[in-house]
Structure formats: structure tokens, C-alpha cells
Amino acid sequence: MAEIHKAGIVHRDLKHLNIFFSDNSDSPNVKIGDFGLACSLQEDECIKKVAGTIGFMAPEVVSNEVSDFKSDIWSLGVMLYALLSSGVPFSGRTREDCVKSITESPLTFHNPVWATVSD
């Protein structure tokens, strides 16, 4: 991700389904795919456009506010949460419920799986 951001690219749709491993070796290369929603930004630029997969979007993205490289970092955090707990931290029955959850709900670790995760 650091390399992609250094090149001025914001992915805008990071999720576990867009992460690939080069092979089955003990140290495969990690590759990021699906740059269909990506955009090029300068370090001090922002973009205002809703894009991505709702459960992995940053609050500013789902709220149609300006966003930048930080929205990818949010998505990485959601991916890590999902990998550890097998679920996303914010969700809802409808898109509107998801937006409300992402923008208004606190991050919680009440799922029983978190008792097995070391701090």
C-alpha cells in the first residue's frame, strides 16, 4: 500500500477479495488487484466521489465528503478486523443502515471471537 500511495494512487476499493498471493510458498508476494475505481492524486489533493464496497468505505467516502489516501488506510483497518473476526465492524440491512453505522456507531469488540485475539 505504501508503494501504491507513494506513486500517487488511491485504490478506493480495498477489501480482502482484492488481495492476492503470488504462490503457495512460505513467503509469497502480496499483490493488490482491481484498480477499476482507483485515482491518481497529488499529496495535497482530495477527491469527492462515493466509490468502493460499502462495508470497507471510510466515513468521509460514504458521506460523499472529500477523501484522500487515508481512506485506503481505513479500508486496511476494516480488512484486518474482518480477517481476525470473520465479520466487518460496521454493517446494516440496507445501504442507508450501513452508512449510518459507519458514520455514527462506535467501533466495538464485543463479538466472542475477540476474547481469543491477543492484544
- As annotated, the active-site residues are 13
CB 32 within 8 A of CB 14: yes
Partners of 20 in the β-ladder: 31
Closest CA to 15 of 60, 65, 68, 51: 51
Q: Cell 464485543 appears where?
A: 110
